[in-house]
């Protein structure tokens, strides 16, 4: 169980770093004229386009993270048997009181 949790935390950490680094790198690249064709742009256009591309890059990272989460095999995630037993016992204890209907309650009064 610890290995699976470590893998999930690692994926989350890498995705978080990419969501931080990608937009900063894109903004820096536009400001330093590293993208072809960005040197002929006005400062306002460069700011707008760098912002748009930075937002798109974050969305791509999020989409990739979601894809990786969906791609994980679902067989690895087994519920805790002790938790299930406690949950079933809790449902059995509170079963009849929760299921009271209003007509039955009116008859009892």
If pLDDT is split at 50, 70 and 90, which confidence band does 97 have?
A: low
- Residue 20 forms part of a structural domain: yes
- Residue 34 forms part of a structural domain: yes
- Residue 104 forms part of a structural domain: no
- Residue 19 forms part of a structural domain: yes
29 vs 1 pLDDT, higher one: 29
Q: What is the DSSP letter of 33?
A: T
| pLDDT digits 0-9 by tens, 20-73 | 999 999 888 888 877 777 778 888 888 898 899 999 999 999 999 999 888 877
- Residue 75 forms part of a structural domain: yes
What is the residue range of 68's domain? 2-81
Instruction: Say how many C-beta atoms besides its own lie within 10 A of residue 41's C-beta.
Output: 16
Which residue in 32, 28, 26 sits closest to 59, CA to CA?
A: 26
Q: What is the DSSP letter of 79?
A: P
- Residue 18 forms part of a structural domain: yes
- Residue 89 forms part of a structural domain: no
Could you give the number of structural domains in the chain? 1
Angle between helices 2-31 and 43-71 (to 10 degrees): 170
Q: What is the pTM of this model?
A: 0.60
- Mean confidence (pLDDT) of the chain: 81
């Amino acid at each position: 169980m610890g290995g699976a949790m470590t893998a999930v935390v690692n994926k989350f950490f890498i995705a978080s770093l990419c969501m931080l680094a990608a937009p900063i790198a894109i903004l820096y690249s536009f400001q330093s004229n590293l993208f072809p064709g960005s040197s002929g742009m006005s400062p306002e256009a460069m700011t707008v386009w760098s912002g748009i591309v930075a937002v798109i890059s974050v969305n791509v990272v999020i989409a990739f993270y979601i894809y990786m989460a969906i791609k994980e095999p679902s067989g690895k995630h087994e519920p805790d048997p002790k938790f299930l037993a406690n949950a079933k016992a809790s449902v059995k204890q509170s079963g009849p009181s929760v299921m009271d209907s209003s007509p039955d309650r009116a008859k009892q009064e």
